[in-house]
């Protein structure tokens, strides 16, 4: 049994080279990790030194892993358990860019290899799936960027955190919304809906990135109407104001002269046509200032008012 599990662990890593088209360029460890050579003790000592694992933490991991279930038929015990732990530590070890082996498998669209590693890592601790690289991107961020629905579903099914933020404060949903990946947005919202509490509110759907923009704000940049529809269907706040100027998505449409976006937004339930920015401007005010007569006329038909500044009422 122990030999079988050890071989399975090694096969899951070697399969990266066999999966997909051509070899996978994976940076090797800066030193021999001990995974393929040396004793268990030497491997753990190396990892303690290289990755900052404390002896106490490793001992606790070993003690708590008396039995780790990989699938319904196979259980790892005793010596094989330590081999499994070494394999996990190897998988989550970061390269010079902070990428783990899962990051690399995801960015190169190697689904089979990613599935094996994600299953193994989540069996120990699903939070390890959220290990960020130097850009604070988790494997889920990268799966969204390469627009791979299968990989997004794989990570979601194994407990990847939807709320992790990259260097710019973007969650995976922010990224998908900005790029107009409606299939990814639908996938993320579906799984987020399954995780929510008794309320109808989808956690994170109205979160702002470090530019103060919600997913709905970002979805307007490229007039991503299918994404806007998905977000609003799942409860995104149509009157949410960005964190820098206080603009809503209606302000964005008026400020850019986007008539297609404007006409769509005005049909959304609950839209506030006279929402004001931090400077007191309504969408109608912005349209007038930009000289967008057609948008100004449309907004006036919907009850839009020209508030020039914050003192106007």
In a domain, 227, yes or no: no
Residues 33 and 101 sit within 8 Å (Cβ to Cβ): no
In a domain, 177, yes or no: no
In a domain, 203, yes or no: no
In a domain, 76, yes or no: no
**What pLDDT, in 10s, does the model give residues 117-133?**
999 999 999 999 999 99
Residue 305's domain comprises: 241-313
pLDDT at 192 over 80: yes
Q: Where would I find the beta strands (DSSP E) of the chain?
A: 68-69, 75-76
CATH of the domain at 288: 1.25.40.20
**Statement: the pTM of the whole predicted model exceeds 0.95:** no
In a domain, 264, yes or no: yes
In a domain, 232, yes or no: no
Residue 24: partners with Cβ closer than 8 Å, 6 or more residues away: 16, 17, 104, 105, 108, 110, 113
User: What pLDDT, on a 0 to 100 scale, did the predictor assign at position 73?
Assistant: 44
**What pLDDT, in 10s, does the model give residues 61-119?**
445 444 455 444 455 455 677 788 888 999 999 999 999 999 999 999 999 999 999 99
Average pLDDT, integer, range 174-187: 98
| pLDDT band at residue 14 using 50, 70 and 90 as cut-offs | low
In a domain, 112, yes or no: no
Question: How many structural domains is the chain composed of?
Answer: 1
In a domain, 284, yes or no: yes
Residues 157 and 194 sit within 8 Å (Cβ to Cβ): no
């Amino acid at each position: 049994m122990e030999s079988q599990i050890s071989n399975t662990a090694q096969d899951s890593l070697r399969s990266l080279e066999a999966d997909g088209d051509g070899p996978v360029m994976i940076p090797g460890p800066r030193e021999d990790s001990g995974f393929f050579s040396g004793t268990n003790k030497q491997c753990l000592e190396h990892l303690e030194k290289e990755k900052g694992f404390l002896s106490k933490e490793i001992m606790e991991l070993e003690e708590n892993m008396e039995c780790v279930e990989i699938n319904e038929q196979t259980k790892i015990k005793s010596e094989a358990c330590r081999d499994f732990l070494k394999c996990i530590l190897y998988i989550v070890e970061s390269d010079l860019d902070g990428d783990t082996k899962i990051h690399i498998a995801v960015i190169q669209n190697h689904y089979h290899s990613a599935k094996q590693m994600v299953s193994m890592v989540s069996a120990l601790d699903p939070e390890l799936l959220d290990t960020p690289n130097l850009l604070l991107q988790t494997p889920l961020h990268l799966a969204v960027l390469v627009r791979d629905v299968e990989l997004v579903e794989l990570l979601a099914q194994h407990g990847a955190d939807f709320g992790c933020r990259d260097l710019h404060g973007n969650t995976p949903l922010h990224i998908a919304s900005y790029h107009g990946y409606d299939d990814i947005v639908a996938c993320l919202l579906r799984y987020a809906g399954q995780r929510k509490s008794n309320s109808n509110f989808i956690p994170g759907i109205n979160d702002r990135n470090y530019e103060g923009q919600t997913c709905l704000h970002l979805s307007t940049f490229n007039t991503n109407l299918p994404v806007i529809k998905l977000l609003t269907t799942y409860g995104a706040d149509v009157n949410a104001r960005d964190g820098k100027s206080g603009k809503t998505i209606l302000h964005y449409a008026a400020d850019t002269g986007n008539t297609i976006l404007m006409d769509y937004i005005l049909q959304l339930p609950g839209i506030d046509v006279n929402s004001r920015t931090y400077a007191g401007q309504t969408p109608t005010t912005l349209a007038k200032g930009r000289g967008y007569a057609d948008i100004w006329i449309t907004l006036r038909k919907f009850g839009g008012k020209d508030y020039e500044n914050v003192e106007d009422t």
